[in-house]
Amino acid sequence: MSWFVTYVRSSIGAKHVMAVTGLLLALFAVAHMIGHLVMFGGRDAYNDYAHMLQNLGHGGVKWIVRGGLLALVAVHIGAGIRLTSLNKAARPVPYAVFRTVRTRPWAKTMVWTGLAVLAFIVYHLLHFTAGQIQPEYFHQLDPKGRYDAYVMFVRGFQNPAILASYLVAMVCLLPHLSHGLKSLFQSLGLQHPKYDGLINKGGAGLAVILFLGYITPPLCVALGVIKLPGA
Amino acid sequence: MSEPESNDKPLNLTIYVWRQKDAKDAGGLVKYDLKGVSQHASFLEMLDILNEQLVGKGEEPVAFDHDCREGICGMCSLMINGRPHGGFPATTTCQVHMRHFKDGETIYIEPWRAGAFPVVRDLVVDRAAFDKITQAGGYITANCGSAQDANAILVPKDDADRAMSAAACIGCGACVAACPNSSAMLYTAAKLAHMHNLPQGQPERMKRTLAMVDAMDAAGFGNCTNHYECEAACPKEITREVIAMMNRDYAKAALSYREPTAKSDGAG
């Protein structure tokens, strides 16, 4: 085995892989949320933004980012599942009585919240990237001849089932990010009494900001604050 | 630990003890009723009393690890009511006293549970996996013979204190027992940190980190998921800071350590 494979398969190296891929995915989540909030700018601004993303570098950047994200998700989930199964195997005979005092529910359920978010990502891509969920709204054009991402967004979240599945996914993402954003610094060895407090509060705070940033535009659609053009 | 109000009323207890003939036996919890246990008895003395009664009845006594009974040797173990060493702050099982239990209480006593710590008999587990980790690098290379001047290598007091805090590890295995993943990272990291906070530990720092982490992985311990049950369970109150140091060093070592070459044994 090469030194790199040995490293990433080791107990600590695998944690570094989880931490780095998790951090990059969280950074994507921040950028994606900011884009999401452009919905408040109205149809023209949102479609402009969507058009810009689609055509960055003559459409090449989009494919590089998609490829990178896919690789990050695959590695993050693959390493996570491998570590979870190794951890289960490390205690073949369970305790009859076992009490934990520090473990938080979100730390214990990382693999499940993670898999729930994965299921959502697949659905989300089928909906907004592949156009398989509401195909009737997928290829509509706005008056300027651009894909009407704004209308697709509003039509999507006007559907109660789609809105509900989205909210459930965000409720799973919140604890996953809250534990992950704090935990990754310890995994990478970036721990110091001077900035421990910042990491703990900042990690949880960023997770809450992402949660609120993600649920606000769809809820505004449901509440009629964000409307279809002319409605 | 905070001392509960003590009176001299003897305790009647229901005890479930893990009994297992040998490594191959499936084992199971066995219930014992123990009457008239003094509140002044230590937890291990309570087991001694149980064993006297079992021997009196011609039954096999319960096997459990113990040695100094002063909280410093690391031999005693025991999962008491689901917590290593009973879950009292900075306390080993031998320092737990029966006044911490109530009359009529049911107590569950189990061995440490980890694939890397196989049960030898009853409550005794084989902790040789820890020895293998330490054998892989828990030492420094030094010339034997005449001792050098005591003050030739200056050690700042803060560094010495940090090294000493890590060296307080008695290798009992409570960290592994408490970890939901049976991870040995607190133990391994403590052994590394006690050398890596000192100048004497620096020359072999990278090589040692790689060797001891590899030995830890090879022994079949789980992986850290940052729950910090280990530091809560550690009778010597070693903190997760040592794990962060190991995590940092392991990345540096994996990315930069070079095996010595055949030509590196001297200039000219």
HEC sequence for B12-31:
EEEEEEEECCCCCCCCEEEE
Does B243 have pLDDT greater than 80?
yes
DSSP string, A36-49: HHGGGG-HHHHHHH
pLDDT at position A230:
83
Does B1 have pLDDT greater than 70?
no
Give the best residue of A7, A8, A11 to mutate against chain B (max B CB count within 10 A).
A11
Check A7 against B255: CB less than 8 A apart: yes
Write out pLDDT tens, residues B186-203: 999 999 999 999 999 999
Is residue B143 very low, low, confident or very high in pLDDT (cuts 50, 70, 90)? Answer: confident
Residue in B with minimal Cα distance to A14? B223
Task: Tell me the angle at which helices A160-187 and A110-128 cross, rounded to the nearest 10 degrees.
Answer: 130
pLDDT at position A121:
96
Nearest to B114 among A10, A90, A182 (CB): A90
- The mean per-residue pLDDT over the stretch B19-40 comes to 97
Is residue B266 very low, low, confident or very high in pLDDT (cuts 50, 70, 90)? Answer: low
Give the best residue of A91, A182, A184 to mutate against chain B (max B CB count within 10 A).
A91
Is residue B5 very low, low, confident or very high in pLDDT (cuts 50, 70, 90)? Answer: low
- The mean per-residue pLDDT over the stretch B137-157 comes to 89
Is residue B229 very low, low, confident or very high in pLDDT (cuts 50, 70, 90)? Answer: very high
Terminal-to-terminal C-alpha distance of chain A: 62
% residues pLDDT > 90 (chain B):
88
Check A87 against B222: CB less than 8 A apart: yes
Instruction: Supply angle C-alpha A140, A143, A144, rounded to 5.
Output: 100
Q: Kindly state the helix (H) or strand (E) to which residue A54 belongs, with its residue range.
A: helix A43-55
Check B217 against A191: CB less than 8 A apart: no
Nearest to B223 among A87, A107, A188 (CB): A87
Is residue B144 very low, low, confident or very high in pLDDT (cuts 50, 70, 90)? Answer: confident
Residue A10 in contact with residue B250, Cβ under 8 Å? yes
- The mean per-residue pLDDT over the stretch A159-180 comes to 97
Nearest to A101 among B229, B246, B247 (CB): B229
- The mean per-residue pLDDT over the stretch A174-197 comes to 95
Is residue A231 very low, low, confident or very high in pLDDT (cuts 50, 70, 90)? Answer: confident
Query: What residues of chain B lie within 8 A of the CB of A107, using their CB?
Result: 225-227
Spatial separation of the C-alpha atoms in residues A152 and A134, rounded to whole Å? 8
Check B180 against A108: CB less than 8 A apart: yes
Number of C-beta neighbours around residue B255 at 10 A: 12
Does A199 have pLDDT greater than 60?
yes
Is residue B6 very low, low, confident or very high in pLDDT (cuts 50, 70, 90)? Answer: low
How do the domains of chain A map onto residue ranges?
3-90+105-222
Query: What residues of chain A lie within 8 A of the CB of B249, using their CB?
Result: 189
Write out pLDDT tens, residues A25-42: 999 999 999 999 999 999
Spatial separation of the C-alpha atoms in residues B154 and B211, rounded to whole Å? 27
The domain made up of A3-90+105-222 has a fold known as: 3 helical TM bundles of succinate and fumarate reductases (1.20.1300)
Number of C-beta neighbours around residue A228 at 10 A: 12
- The mean per-residue pLDDT over the stretch A72-95 comes to 97
Give the best residue of A97, A188, A192 to mutate against chain B (max B CB count within 10 A).
A97
- The mean per-residue pLDDT over the stretch B209-226 comes to 97
pLDDT at position B142:
86
- The mean per-residue pLDDT over the stretch B53-71 comes to 97
Tally C-beta pairs within 8 A across A and B: 140
Query: What residues of chain A lie within 8 A of the CB of B220, using their CB?
Result: 89-90
Side-chain half-sphere CA neighbours of A39 within 13 A: 26
- In whole angstroms, how far apart are CA B132 and each of A41, A81, B25, B50, B249? 62, 28, 25, 34, 20
- The mean per-residue pLDDT over the stretch A7-31 comes to 97
- The mean per-residue pLDDT over the stretch A190-203 comes to 93
Per the prediction, chain A carries an average pLDDT of 95
Better pLDDT: A2 or B125: B125
Query: What residues of chain B lie within 8 A of the CB of A92, using their CB?
Result: 115
Residue in B with minimal Cα distance to A186? B244
- A166-180, B6-20, B101-115: which range is least confident on average? B6-20
- The mean per-residue pLDDT over the stretch A2-8 comes to 93
- Global pTM? 0.93
Q: Kindly state the helix (H) or strand (E) to which residue B107 belongs, with its residue range.
A: strand B106-110
Check A15 against B223: CB less than 8 A apart: yes
Q: Which amino acid is at A89?
A: A
Q: Can you say whether residue B140 is alpha, beta or left, with left for phi > 0 and alpha for psi between -120 and 50 degrees? A: beta
- Report residue A211 as tokens: 């949660």
% residues pLDDT > 90 (chain A):
93
pLDDT at position B240:
95
- The mean per-residue pLDDT over the stretch B144-159 comes to 89
Write out pLDDT tens, residues B244-259: 999 999 999 999 998 8
Query: What residues of chain A lie within 8 A of the CB of B116, using their CB?
Result: 90
- B1-10, B168-177, B247-256: which range is least confident on average? B1-10
Q: Kindly state the helix (H) or strand (E) to which residue B194 belongs, with its residue range.
A: helix B185-196
Check A96 against B16: CB less than 8 A apart: yes
pLDDT at position B264:
57
- For chain B, list the domains and their CATH numbers: 11-121 (3.10.20.30), 127-256 (1.10.1060.10)
Q: How far is A191 from chain B (nearest CA, A)?
A: 6
